Structure 1
Amino acid sequence: MTQTAQQLTPSAQEAICEALNQCVAETAVTTMLAQNFHWNVTGMAFGPLHAMFQNIYEDHFTAQDELAERVKALGGHAEGQLAGMLKRSKVMEHDGHATAEAMIETMAKAQDTLAATLAGAAAIAEEHGDLLTQDLAIGRGQVHEKFAWLLRAHLG
């Protein structure tokens, strides 16, 4: 049965918000990762990679807000502390000292991680009949899969 945010049980709201906060955390860490690589990429592919990393961090910054606002719509608390996000995230920070190829590989793996986390959030939302969160998570997951593909295309 399809449920609106207000019709979900408290335990359903809690489970969905927990999954969404995981998505927010990993999106935030990946946003900073992309910005770090945007600042520090060098080499023959500087132009297209500089632009791609900017496209990624701009997309992810907006996505953080959409995901966190869904948490709030469900009555939850959106994680807003960087330390908490870093602790929770399966995507790790990077110091930015890497070849362009290593940056691409790292960012592609981060996109894969985000896609998987969002697929998990979609499944939890579906289990509780929250089609709006499910749709949001599926849509975001598709974006991350596309970014992973675009990044890997640079590797040949």
Structure 2
Amino acid sequence: MIQSWMVIAAVTALVAVGGVLFKPRDLKWAIGLRRPKWLTFEPLIPVIWTAIFICGAWSANIVWQQNPGSTKIWLLMSLYLLLEIVTVSYTSVTLRLRSLQVGTILGGSGAVLSIILALAVFPISRLAAGLLLPYIIWSPVGTYTTEEMIQLNPGAE
């Protein structure tokens, strides 16, 4: 029998893989952008986001287990999915459009969605809401970084 965590993990992985669909010329543009001097942890960003996605998937599984298949839970699963889609689209859409402003909007949208999701999940499970805290904390850091990059790269806004 397929367990709920397996389905949630598979959907998370599929959406994450879809987020890396961009062309090499788009990546070349991103590599050429100036970054804030304080951005010394950039090589750790993929590891940080992987941990955040694991926490999000774990949170979704906890919520699903509370009342599997109910309309409320399906709506919450849709919100989890929307949050992941917005998050992974940050890289591919920002690169494809070559627009840090779009990245800032997507990052800010993800931050707001994560707070809404945590508030919606809190009455169901405090642990599930707590597992969204890494996203709530980290997403504004990424959004702020992108906003700072706009200042350093005026033509890339």
The TM tier, using the shorter chain, reads 0.5 to 0.7
Q: Which amino acid aligns with 2:101?
A: E
- The counterpart of 1:119, out of the listed 82, 107, 115, is 115
Could you tell me how far apart the structure 2 residues matched to 1:31 and 1:98 are? 14
1:108 aligned partner: 104
3-state DSSP of counterpart to 2:131: helix
TM-aligned CA deviation for residue 95 of structure 1: 8.1
Q: Deviations over 1:88-122 (max 9, x none)?
A: 834645383444xx1x3232222212111111111
Q: Which residue of 2 aligns with 1:152?
A: 147
Q: Are the equivalent residues in 2 in contact too, given 1:28–1:61 (CA < 8 A)?
A: no
Letter in 2 for 1:143: W
Q: Percent of pairs identical after alignment?
A: 10
Residues 119 and 29 of structure 1: CA distance in aligned 2, closer, same or farther (over 3 Å): farther
Q: Which ranges in structure 1 are unaligned for 5 or more consecutive residues? A: 1-19, 78-84
The whole-number CA distance in structure 2 between the counterparts of 1:53 and 1:37 is 20
Partners of 2:27 and 2:56 in 1: CA distance: 26
- Structure 2 vs 1, CA of residues 112 and 54 (structure 1 numbering), >3 Å: closer, same or farther? farther
Residues 111, 56 of structure 1: alpha-carbon distance in 2 compared, 3 angstrom cutoff: farther
Gaps spanning 5+ residues in structure 2: where? 1-7, 70-80, 152-157
TM-score by length of 1: 0.53
The alpha-carbon distance between structure 1 residues 62 and 94, as it changes in their structure 2 partners (threshold 3 A), is same
Query: Given the two structures, how large is their TM-score scaled by the length of structure 2?
Result: 0.53
Quickly say closer, same or farther: Cα 1:131–1:64, change in 2 above 3 A.
same
How far, CA to CA, are the matches of 1:54 and 1:132 in structure 2?
29
Q: Residue type of the partner of 1:65?
A: I
Deviation at 1:46?
Answer: 7.5
- Measure the CA separation in 1 of the matches of 2:94 and 2:149: 21
Could you tell me how far apart the structure 2 residues matched to 1:31 and 1:53 are? Answer: 18
* Aligned position for 1:11: none
CA RMSD of superposed structures (Å): 4.4
Change (3 A) 1:127 1:47: closer
Q: Which moved more, 1:39-48 or 1:130-139?
A: 39-48
Deviation at 1:52, TM superposition (A): 7.2
Measure, in 2, the Cα distance between the counterparts of 1:126 and 1:132: 8
Q: How many residue pairs get matched? A: 121
